[in-house]
């Protein structure tokens, strides 16, 4: 039997090859934890399972932050190449989105476990998350405009990752406000969250239009990017969830005479807007399922991109259940629970494959330091050592 990490050659490669796409693992694990907490009315033990996964997710996030910081410290020349890589650069958006699931966990699981301190922690982390989401949503597209080489044929739904981070923060803001009293702080977060929603959802919808055109003209992407088709559901599901959460809280928070009517409109707009978005998302969901079945027929090799199977369907399921709460339509609950079941199945498969790949070391690969053929290019400091 081959020893652990045998394909890396040396344990230091764990750091040298570590990339931000590992934070999609925290996104997927975090959304499963939240979905379990949301469906605990069906089976109380689901809350305990969700809380356990949330704690594990915190540990994973801290581990990944430590590993990525270590890469910048010890392998700076290689780490900085990510800003010129047209695909891996997109995964910076996974960092604030992974953090958002932890913030929401403090509100869902943290309050029963550690009391009101959880709200204060979530409040502080939310501002950090908002700042990171804004930076990703502005800086990464600017790099796309100025540094990267892109074409319509090479485009995938991965383009959405840095843009969607802000709307995930917006939806998290809606959940945070639900634990705050009406006042200036809650009102401030409410309007900032709506701004973050527009900052993210509207550009994301534009990207989806381009993605549709790309698939019509150039067909499906390669097998290595097969799971990326599920990413198109993410901004739609998160956008719907954000409208519902913010609309519900707007009616409660906006109690001044000048803003009461705004809160009423926001609540109604949240329900109607979410219904429209979920219908649009269902179209992309069916396309993603058909695309995956098409790839499965020819074989679908595992890579870290498989985590795209988890977070998008997770936020879509939470949005469906939230719409069911707002409307009282019973069949929406059935759909929501079915989507949660799909999410748990995907997470189980992807987590198992990731752990096996991590054990053997074959999922640690940084294309930023590759010459495009799989050969690893030495960093500047490594070249100097060779010359010496």
> Which residues 6+ apart lie within 8 Å of 257 measured at CB?
none
What span, in angstroms and rounded, lies between the C-alpha atoms of 98 and 26?
Answer: 5
Is residue 384 pLDDT above 90, yes or no? no
Mean pLDDT of 53-70: 98
Please tell me the predicted confidence (pLDDT) of residue 82. Answer: 96
What span, in angstroms and rounded, lies between the C-alpha atoms of 315 and 238?
Answer: 6
Mean pLDDT of 19-35: 98
Q: What are phi and psi of 318, to 5 degrees?
A: -65, -40
> How does pLDDT run across 338-354, given as a tens digit for each residue?
999 999 999 999 999 99
CATH of domain 10-370: 1.50.10.150
What span, in angstroms and rounded, lies between the C-alpha atoms of 58 and 97?
Answer: 13
> How does pLDDT run across 105-120, given as a tens digit for each residue?
999 999 999 999 999 9
Q: Which two tokens stand for residue 358?
A: 């991590």
Give the residue extent of every domain in the chain: 10-370
> How does pLDDT run across 289-331, given as a tens digit for each residue?
999 999 988 888 899 999 999 999 999 999 999 999 999 999 9
């Amino acid at each position: 039997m081959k020893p652990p990490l045998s394909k890396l050659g040396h344990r230091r490669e764990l750091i040298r090859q570590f990339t931000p796409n590992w934070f999609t693992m925290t996104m997927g694990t975090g959304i499963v934890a939240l979905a379990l907490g949301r469906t605990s009315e069906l089976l109380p033990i689901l809350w305990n399972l969700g809380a356990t996964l949330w704690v594990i997710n915190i540990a994973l996030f801290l581990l990944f932050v430590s590993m990525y910081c270590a890469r910048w410290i010890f392998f700076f020349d290689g780490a900085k190449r990510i800003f010129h890589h047209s695909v891996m650069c997109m995964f910076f958006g996974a960092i604030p989105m992974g953090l958002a699931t932890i913030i929401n966990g403090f509100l869902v699981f943290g309050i029963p476990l550690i009391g009101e301190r959880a709200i204060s922690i979530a409040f502080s982390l939310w501002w950090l998350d908002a700042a990171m989401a804004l930076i990703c949503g502005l800086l990464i597209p600017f790099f796309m405009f100025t540094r990267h080489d892109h074409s319509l044929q090479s485009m995938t739904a991965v383009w959405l990752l840095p843009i969607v981070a802000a709307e995930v923060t917006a939806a998290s803001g809606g959940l945070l406000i639900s634990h705050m009293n009406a006042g200036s702080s809650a009102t401030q977060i409410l309007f900032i969250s709506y701004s973050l929603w527009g900052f993210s959802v509207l550009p994301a919808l534009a990207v989806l239009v381009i993605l549709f055109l790309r698939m019509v003209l150039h067909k499906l992407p390669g097998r290595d990017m097969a799971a990326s088709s599920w990413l198109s559901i993410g901004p739609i599901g998160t956008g719907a969830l954000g409208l519902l959460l913010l609309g519900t809280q707007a009616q409660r928070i906006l109690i001044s005479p000048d803003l009461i009517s705004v809160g009423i409109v926001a609540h109604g707009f949240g329900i109607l807007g979410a219904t429209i978005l979920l219908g649009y998302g269902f179209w992309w969901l069916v396309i993603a399922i058909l695309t995956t079945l098409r790839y499965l027929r020819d074989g679908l090799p595992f890579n870290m991109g498989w985590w795209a199977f988890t977070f998008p369907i997770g936020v879509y399921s939470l949005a469906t259940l939230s719409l069911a709460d707002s409307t009282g339509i019973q069949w929406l609950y059935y759909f929501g629970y079915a989507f949660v079941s799909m999410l748990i199945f995907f997470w189980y498969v992807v987590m198992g494959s990731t752990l096996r790949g991590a054990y053997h070391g074959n999922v640690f690969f940084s294309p930023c330091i590759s010459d495009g053929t799989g050969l690893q290019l030495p960093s500047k400091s490594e070249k100097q050592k060779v010359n010496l």
